[in-house]
Amino acid sequence: MRQAGRFMAEYRALRARFGFLELCKNPEAAAEVTLLPVERLGVDAAIIFADILLPVEPMGVGLEFAKGEGPVIHRPVRGAADLAGLADVDPREATPFVFEAIQKVRTALSERVPLIGFAGAPFTVASYLIEGGASREYLHTKRLMHDDPSTWHALMERLVKVTVGYVNGQIAAGAQAVQLFDSWVGTLSPADYREFVLPHTRAVVKGLTPGVPVIHFGTGTAGLLELVREAGGDVIGLDWRVDLGDAWKRLGYDVAVQGNLDPALLLAKPAEIKRHVRAILDRAAGRPGHIFNLGHGVLPETPVEHVIAMVEMVHELSRR
């Protein structure tokens, strides 16, 4: 997950000085934000501070982060003409600031913990491009998929190319593992996932520089797990709406899993957090290949001390 955010005072202080996109594009500041959770929370890995829409911004979609509203795409892609109007960009040249931030973080970390790079998976990025921002029902996305499948697949192919170049650029810059965020793919039926998404996500995974572990993340995917696995990844992300033991059994023990604490639990009392952390570790049964994590990002309302306490609990309970 993005580890630094509004729940941290240090992040809020930086955001008072920089707009969100400005922060992403400033390698010094992005590196500072990336290192913050390693120092303050005690987590076992850093994840580069960036946004999944950075590699598509240069295509000319008019990306803006409106105050408190998340991303807005001013020129959404809803048909063949919109798609044809997208600029052809080289993802290895369009976002030099991300690669530079990665280099800075690697130097600063000097092997203390590994650094994870990331990108949005094609479906989730497409959903922002088509809807023009966040969505609840994904009606434009689903309509394009169902009523104009050739434009849908062409858009996804464009995104595959961009994503592969962007992630491989991160790996070349020093990312030691990469995470594909298909955050909103849980809105799809298994049949639609198989037909409209799986081949494209698989193409991304197959296109990545070999030898670097790939974490394939989604939420609301309890009905999609086998297909997500089929699409690829060394580690499959599990949100909290599925039992970790059952999910891992379904996936097979030859993939690793990541998850699966409900982020809302970090607002509860520490004793209750601990009870749930322990239950998840019990479901993982000490089997190697479980990365403890939240099922989704840290909520802005979360007390930072609870996050620190949770990291300590995981360390303490895993040592036993």
Closest C-alpha to 218, from 250, 199, 242, 246: 242
- Our CB check for a copy of itself shows the closer of 64 and 148 to be 148
Which has the closest alpha carbon to 257: 298, 223, 285, 299? 285
To a copy of itself, the closest distance from the beta carbon of 279 in angstroms equals: 6
* Selected range binding a copy of itself among 15-23, 111-119, 241-249, 284-292, rule: CB under 8 A: 241-249
- Judged by CB under 8 A, the chain residues 282 through 301 that form the site for a copy of itself are 299, 301
The closest of 84, 73, 114, 102 to 291, measured between CA atoms, is: 114
Q: Which residues contact 83 (CB under 8 A, 6 or more apart)?
A: 77, 151, 154, 155, 158
Under the criterion CB under 8 A, does residue 168 sit at the interface with a copy of itself?
no
Q: Strands of 183-270 (E only): list them.
A: 214-218, 235-237, 256-261
By CB under 8 A, residue 16 contacts a copy of itself: no
**Residue of the chain from 214, 222, 255, 304 that contacts a copy of itself (CB under 8 A):** 222
Q: Which of 147, 303, 316, 318 binds a copy of itself (CB under 8 A)?
A: 147
> Strands (DSSP E) along the chain, which ranges?
46-47, 63-66, 70-73, 115-120, 177-182, 214-218, 235-237, 256-261, 290-294
**Residue of the chain from 45, 268, 304, 308 that contacts a copy of itself (CB under 8 A):** 268
Amino acid in position 144: L
ω into 168 cis (within 30 of 0): no
* 159 vs 247, beta carbon nearer a copy of itself: 247
Among 146, 249, 287, 315, binds a copy of itself (CB under 8 A): 146
Instruction: Report how far apart, in Å, the C-alpha atoms of 20 and of each of 53, 111, 253 are.
Output: 12, 28, 39
Q: Tell me if 230 contacts a copy of itself by CB under 8 A.
A: no
Assess 189 for contact with a copy of itself (CB under 8 A).
yes
Q: Which residues contact a copy of itself (rule: CB under 8 A)?
A: 137-139, 142-143, 146-147, 186-192, 220, 222-224, 240-243, 246-247, 260, 262, 264-265, 267-269, 272, 276, 279, 299, 301
